[in-house]
Each structure stands twice: as C-alpha cells, then as structure tokens.
Chains A and B, each alone.
Chain A
C-alpha cells in the first residue's frame, strides 16, 4: 500500500515541476532565446495522446485487438500530407488567426455567425472530453486510494464544508497553470513558449512512464514478447484478437479517417500545430518525429492487454486501468506511482491546451460579439486590454468548471466513457468547410453554415444523443427502433444503414450531409465581395502571400484606427506595433500615417490576434466608412491581383531562362577557348612538321652547294634525300589542306552508289608495286556470295582511306616477310573492311592516339617519323562522314597464359552502312 502523503507529495512535486519548466521557457523567451526547437514542437504535438491513450488504448485492445491503432495511424498518415498543415500555418500567420473557429470564420468573410457556430460545436464536443481526463485522474486516484476521495487534501482541511475532492484540487491547479502560462499575452498569436515547453516535457514523461510499465509487464511479469504471444496463442478467445479476422475493415478505415481529420481539427491540435508554430521548417521534424512518438507509445499496448487478459482469464476486470492495476497487484509501488504520474501528465497536458484553445474561441467568438453588439459601450474605456484578458481568464475557469461538473454529473455513464471518438466526430464536422475553404474558391459562407449545421445535427442525433440514451438519461428506443417507431430514422441505422459500426455510421452520415450541404449550397448561392477576396487569399496563399489583394475602399481616419488599436491592444503594445508599421513604410511619426487600405488591413489584422478576425472586422468597420464594393469590382481587383501573380511568375520564368542562356553562353565560350587552344596547337604542330623536311632539304642543299667536288655517289644520295623530303613536304601540305577542308566542311562530296568489292580489289591492285618492293604478300578475301557490296559513298575518298590503311600496313610489316590481308564482309546492315598486317603491333596506349592529328605510334623523340601523322585522322573524318566507324585492334605479340606464342600485328577496321537498294 502506498502512503497517501507520498502520492500527494509526488503529485504536487510533479505539478510544481511543470510550473518550473513553463517558467523557464517563458524566461528564456523573454530573454530572446526561444526554447521552441523543432524537437520541442514535435513533442508538444503529442498532446494528442491523452489519458484516453494512456489508459484507454489497453482497454480497447482487450476487446478490439489491433483496432486501437487506427487512432494513431490516421494522424501518422495525415502528417505525411504536410502540405495541408503548412498551408494552414501560412494562412494563420498571415492573417494572425487565433483558433480553428477564427480560421473558418476568416475564410468565409469573417463571419461572426460561423465563428460562433464552430465554437459552440467545439465546446459541446470537447467539454465532455475534458471531463473524461478529469475522470481518468479521479479513477486512478480511486485505484490508489479506494476509500479516500480526498486523498490529496491534508486531513486537517478535509473537515471544511466547501472542500472539494482530489480531482477538483487538480482541476484548480490546472486552471491556475493555464491562466498563468496560457494568457501571458493579450495577443493570442504571440507564442506561449513556457506552456509549449511544459507540454513537450509532459509528452516525454508520459512516454517514458508508459514504456517503463510496458517493459515491466513484458519482461518482469512475463518472459518477453515471445512468451506473452505464445501464451496468448494458446487461449483461443485471446488468440483471435491477434488475427486479421478480429478487424472490422469498414470500421478500421472509418476510424483511420476520423483520427486523421481529428489531428487537424481538434482545437488543442490546432493550437499547438498551427498557432504555436514559430517556424514553418519545424514541420520537417514533426512529419516523422510525431508519428515515431505514436509508434513508441503504442508498442506495448497489445502486450499489456494480452498480459491482463491472460492474468484475469475469464474473470471480470477493469481493462481501462490495467496500466495501473497490474503493477499494484504485484506490489510494485514505484512502478504504480510512475504509471499514475504518466496518466496524470497525459490528462493535464490535454486539459491545459484544450482549455486555452477553447477559452480563446469562447472569449473571441462568443463573449466579445455579445459585448460588442450589446449595451456595453467600449468607447468610454481608454484601455480594454485588461478587460479582454479578464474575460479570457474567467472563460478558462468557467470551461474547467463545466468539465468538472460534467464529470461529476456523468460519473460512470456511457456518455462519458465513450466520449473520445464522439468528440473526434464532433470536430470532424469542421473538415469540409476548413479544407474546402483552403482549396475551393467557390465554397461560400452559406454553404459552410448549412454544411456545419447539418453535420452537427446528424452528429447530435447519431452520436451524442445515443450516448445519453445508453447512459439512461433519455429513452433509448430511438437508437435502434427510430423515433415513433420509424425504423428508417433509427439513430444507429439511419435510412436503413445498419451494417456499419455506430462510429463509422455517424461519421458517414454526418460528413455526407455536411459535405453535401456545403457543396450544393455553395454552388447554388453567390459569395459576397468580402468573401471573394478572402477566398482568393486562402486558396492562393502559397503562390505569394505578399501579393494578396487589398480589397477595401472607403474613408477612414488614421486617428480613430490608432485609438481603436490602443484601446484593444493597450497603449504600449499598440504604440510599438504602429511604430514598426510606420518604420517599414519609411514614415518617422505615427501621426503621419494615412488611413489607406493597407493601414485599415493592418489595424484589422492586429486586432484579429487579440479578439478574433470576425470581431476585429466588426470593430474596424465601426470606425471607418467602408464603401460597398460591387461583385464585379472585386472580381476585377482579383483579376488584377492574379495578373500581378502571373507577371511575377512570368518574371521568374524569364529569369530562369536568362540564367539558362547565360549558362549556355558560358559553355559556348569555354568551347571557343578550347577550339582556340586547339588551333594554336595545330599551328605549332604544322610549323614543326613543315620545318623538319625543310631543315633536311636545306642542310643537304648547303652541303651540295659548299662542296662542288663531292663524290658522284654521295651527290646522288643527297639529291635523293632532298627529292624524298620535298615529296614528303608536298604530301604534308596536301594533307593539311585536305584536313582543313574536311574540318571546315568545305569538301565537295561526290556521293554515288558503288560496289565496295570492286573498289577494294582495284585499290589493292594499284598498290601491287609497293607490296613487291617491300617483299610483302597481300591477300584479299571477299564475300563468297559474289553479290556486290553496295554502299553510297564518295568513291575517291573511300579509295583514299583504303590506300592510307594499306600503305600504313606496308610501312610496318617486316621487310621481305610481310603479310597483309584485306577482308571485306557484310554484317548488320554494314559493310566492313579489315586490313591486317603482321607488323610489330601498336601498344594499347597508342591505339587511340594514332587517330589524333600529327600523332604517331612509337617514341617521337627517337623513332624516325613514318608519315605525316594526318593520314589516319583524315581517314576517320571521311568514314565518320558516311556514318561509319574506323578503329584498330592490335597486339604487340608475346606468350599467352597457356604458353602459346602470340604473333604481333594490327588490324584496322572500318564500316560503312550498306545501301538501302
């Protein structure tokens, strides 16, 4: 048994720690050092996991097997559609929206009626959910202290007549926390950094607590996962929970969709995810970290449920509190305390954020409109900021009091136990008007109103009232029999649809009516000018928020707007924001501000952060004389705005094109420089190549000139050398000219169809004398079919290539023992000529180099040049002109791995496409 004082001490220590964390966060924020990092933001979003998760998931798993996971898979999937969440954040930041009611109202022309309706739905749907958290706290205390309802209250105070129970004490502490850290700023759009840090801390705490209990149950009370699963498999009633057959897939999909919508629409989620977001990039982490959190907090749910079912096999037990009762039953008090504090943190986190969110909605969208429209004369007060703050704080207390009352009133009733999903259903009704408003410009106020009313009515009838009926508060016949015995109107079998689970049934009909009403009425009715403007701003917020059209025309006094701001924001705050606004526009004094459309919009947006967009619009309208803009006028303005956007896009496109063009120019310039360098290289090589024979001619001529007595034999030899070098020089110049012509594309190609067989034969024959002089044999092998090998080429040019290859071969074969083979064949639509020689071969490193200009195989420093170095490059140019290829395969000889002698030699191949004919 745990001592009462010890539990009380730990509870208050925990709550004290929460205050300390929040205080730390606020102090850091005040010092300009924000504590809201992307990790803190992602953890704070886990406020989604309430005591319903902490205790309830295990309870659901004992009867529904895996179905509890839908509540967490839905949000996981929804967070992957981060584009939707980012758009919500962007719209809210731009328009300084404070709550989901404000968001929907702002989209539909800042309608107070719509904001009020959304607030009412949220309050009706969420207050019981807050009550459920208080019930969880109360229930856990009851398990720890079955006989003492005032366990957390010192005995000396228990005798006081007005002293409430322990749950009320915790509710009071939570109200104090919410007031201190949730209403620090008048402007709701200013962040509550301390509160967010405290919520993130609670998320970590409840996760650690749940994982600790899970590990305790799995490894301390049992022998691990395998043991638990094996024992569960042995009991058929439990084993069926682990099979897909236990899943109702229609219900599974409905719950996934429902929880996916709830993660966007629940007021507390909107508060943390959208309003408290300080940096859009924080979503990058939230996208995966929040789902990871959900995965971790669920990993032990089924094992704990199985352990409970095995332990209490067949006997009645309270499944919802297994997390707490299992350690208690084993007498592990420390673990029981950790579980209690984990459940407490899950409940308190939800209560704090949900109360702040609802209080903002109630004060801005219910209380303020009543005050503004009522007899309250706000013009007599110079500073309303204190009063607004008081209203918000009173609303917090009132909402928590309502939650507490509902908890006390409902007690163990079904209406409270089942409220989790019913609350989800209530907020899911916001989805059509909120999501439709962000992506569909034609959606209008009347459509949203009708859709919400229909959805809310169907929700009341098919979800909330049946829970009252099952609690015994009202007659329950209508649930299955229908009112007055009309079966088609049965709350759980509307229009005869009885196959769906009650939650899936309610979701289907409420969303169908809601969406149907929204779409049909929006199509049938027309937006007013104001709505049209905001619709455009919401839908186009991603394209460019700064280009949003300012649709306003009228006369206003800057002084009265300034006065209005000072009255609602407080003089100091108003002064500071006005100065910033003036500075941005290059105006030194606030008094010089002009009441143009921009300033009116600025004033309205600033007020929206404090009293909501709908009330702000009413207040600003009260001090300016707005001229009604015609629908066509607004359309024109929007058209202009979209033209501006189009121009902006056009500019972006042109800028991208310019960048591309400049990139291409840079590349072209680099290519030109490369060509220039090649030209220089070419010139220098040509000069060098010309100088070599010239030097030789000059040297021998000088020798002949200087020595008239030279022997006849020497004279003849020298003259022979001079003639040879002169011939080489002529050949070189011819080839240079030829190559230059080829490179510049100035060759006059005489293309004709011809038989390559004849050409090869004829060319080889014409070089017969050369072969004989060198003592080389030339063998020609032609296709055996004797059919012509027709190609479309310039006869002389191809002949030039064959001559070039054959004379190269002759040059390199061994004198007296040379073997040259010319082989002609056809393959794959190409004619192929292979010229093989048994020369020394070309080392692999030179096999590609020899096709470059003035490059030859061998050592250029020591070997005597064997040609001009232009023959092969020219040949390749010619062959490539006719879409063919020219390459070499060569070996320098040696011995193979098996010991065989490999003969050296080279084979030059070229291919040319065969004629089509």
Chain B
C-alpha cells in the first residue's frame, strides 16, 4: 500500500477515535440549555457531525475543492 494512502488512512483513523470520544459521555452530557430557541445538544451534535465530515473530506479527497483539475472527473473503470 502506498505510503500516502497509509498516511490518509491513519489520519482518518485518528479522526475516528476522536469522534468516538466526541460523540459519547461525558462530553455529550455537557450540552444542556438553548442557544436562542435551539437546543444546545441538537446544535452541538449536528454541527460537530458536519465538522467531522468536512475534515474527513479534506483528508480523503484533498483535491475535491479544486475548480478544475485535468482528468479529475474521470472515474477508474
């Protein structure tokens, strides 16, 4: 397996372990009350979830954000 791929998988794994801690006790028990009318727990869960997804995207597909890249849209057979 290429080293770059190994590095990507390692980074994703670290994010995975971080997420396991993030989306469990005791951190979850800290988010009570509301922000405006929104429950803090609802906002926290979904925003954090989105952040984890964005980080995963940046790690796994770092070039996706580039507007034009030759052959970027070509799928492997």
Report whether A299 and B20 are in contact in the complex, using a CB–CB cutoff of 8 Å: no
Report whether B28 and A249 are in contact in the complex, using a CB–CB cutoff of 8 Å: yes
User: Using a CB-CB cutoff of 8 Å, which residues 1-21 of chain B contact chain A?
Assistant: 1, 9-10, 12-13, 15-16, 19-20
Cα–Cα, bound, A288→B15 (Å): 12
User: Using a CB-CB cutoff of 8 Å, which residues 39-77 of chain B contact chain A?
Assistant: 39, 41-42, 45-46, 49-50, 52-54, 56-57, 60-61, 75-77
What residue in chain B is nearest A287 (Cβ atoms)? B60
Report whether B24 and A226 are in contact in the complex, using a CB–CB cutoff of 8 Å: no
Chain A residues contacting B24 (CB-CB under 8 Å) are: 249, 252-253, 256
Cα–Cα, bound, A227→B36 (Å): 11
Residue from A229, A249, A252, A295 in contact with B49 in the complex, judged by beta carbons closer than 8 Å: A295
User: Using a CB-CB cutoff of 8 Å, which residues 236-280 of chain A contact chain B?
Assistant: 242-245, 247, 249, 252-253, 256, 278-279
Q: Which one of A81-89, A145-153, A597-605, A816-824 is at the B interface?
A: A81-89
Report whether B45 and A34 are in contact in the complex, using a CB–CB cutoff of 8 Å: no
In the assembled complex, the CB of B59 is this many whole angstroms from the nearest CB of chain A, namely 8
In the assembled complex, the CB of B75 is this many whole angstroms from the nearest CB of chain A, namely 5
Q: How many A-B residue pairs have CB under 8 A?
A: 117
Report whether B16 and A229 are in contact in the complex, using a CB–CB cutoff of 8 Å: no
Chain B residues contacting A278 (CB-CB under 8 Å) are: 76-77
What residue in chain A is nearest B26 (Cβ atoms)? A249
Chain A residues contacting B37 (CB-CB under 8 Å) are: 225-227, 229-230, 233
Report whether A81 and B16 are in contact in the complex, using a CB–CB cutoff of 8 Å: yes
Report whether B53 and A77 are in contact in the complex, using a CB–CB cutoff of 8 Å: no
Q: Taking chain B's interface residues, is the majority helix, strand, or loop, or is none over half, making it mixed?
A: helix
Query: Is A456 part of the binding interface, using a Cβ–Cβ cutoff of 8 Å?
Result: no
Chain A positions 587 through 618: 1 when the CB is less than 8 Å from some CB of chain B, otherwise 0:
00000000000000000000000000000000
In the assembled complex, the CB of A65 is this many whole angstroms from the nearest CB of chain B, namely 9
Given A249-B24, A284-B60: A69 and B45 interface contact (C-beta under 8 Å): yes
Cα–Cα, bound, A490→B62 (Å): 53
Report whether B36 and A243 are in contact in the complex, using a CB–CB cutoff of 8 Å: no
Chain B residues contacting A73 (CB-CB under 8 Å) are: 19, 23, 49
User: Using a CB-CB cutoff of 8 Å, which residues 38-90 of chain A contact chain B?
Assistant: 38, 66, 69, 73, 76-83, 86
Report whether B60 and A252 are in contact in the complex, using a CB–CB cutoff of 8 Å: no
Given A76-B19, A253-B24, A279-B75: A81 and B41 interface contact (C-beta under 8 Å): no
In the assembled complex, the CB of B38 is this many whole angstroms from the nearest CB of chain A, namely 6
Cα–Cα, bound, A666→B30 (Å): 58
Residue from B23, B28, B46, B57 in contact with A244 in the complex, judged by beta carbons closer than 8 Å: B28
In the assembled complex, the CB of A245 is this many whole angstroms from the nearest CB of chain B, namely 8
Report whether B38 and A285 are in contact in the complex, using a CB–CB cutoff of 8 Å: no
Report whether A226 and B25 are in contact in the complex, using a CB–CB cutoff of 8 Å: no
Cα–Cα, bound, A524→B32 (Å): 50
Query: Is A302 part of the binding interface, using a Cβ–Cβ cutoff of 8 Å?
Result: yes
Cα–Cα, bound, A542→B6 (Å): 10
Given A86-B9, A247-B28: A285 and B45 interface contact (C-beta under 8 Å): no
Residue from A66, A229, A230, A284 in contact with B45 in the complex, judged by beta carbons closer than 8 Å: A66
Report whether B52 and A291 are in contact in the complex, using a CB–CB cutoff of 8 Å: yes
Chain B residues contacting A244 (CB-CB under 8 Å) are: 28-32, 41
Query: Is A499 part of the binding interface, using a Cβ–Cβ cutoff of 8 Å?
Result: no
Report whether B38 and A82 are in contact in the complex, using a CB–CB cutoff of 8 Å: no
Query: Is A655 part of the binding interface, using a Cβ–Cβ cutoff of 8 Å?
Result: no
Report whether B41 and A242 are in contact in the complex, using a CB–CB cutoff of 8 Å: yes
In the assembled complex, the CB of A335 is this many whole angstroms from the nearest CB of chain B, namely 24
Report whether A279 and B76 are in contact in the complex, using a CB–CB cutoff of 8 Å: yes
Chain A residues contacting B32 (CB-CB under 8 Å) are: 243-245
Cα–Cα, bound, A278→B77 (Å): 7
Query: Is A621 part of the binding interface, using a Cβ–Cβ cutoff of 8 Å?
Result: no
Cα–Cα, bound, A287→B24 (Å): 21
What residue in chain B is nearest A244 (Cβ atoms)? B29
Cα–Cα, bound, A295→B75 (Å): 26
Report whether B34 and A233 are in contact in the complex, using a CB–CB cutoff of 8 Å: yes
Closest 9 CB pairs of A and B: A80-B16, A249-B25, A288-B57, A226-B37, A242-B39, A83-B9, A279-B76, A288-B56, A230-B37
A-B contact pairs, 25 of them (CB 8 A): A38-B75, A76-B53, A77-B20, A79-B56, A80-B19, A80-B56, A81-B12, A81-B16, A82-B13, A227-B37, A230-B37, A233-B39, A243-B32, A244-B31, A278-B77, A279-B77, A283-B60, A287-B12, A288-B54, A288-B60, A291-B49, A292-B53, A295-B53, A299-B46, A542-B1
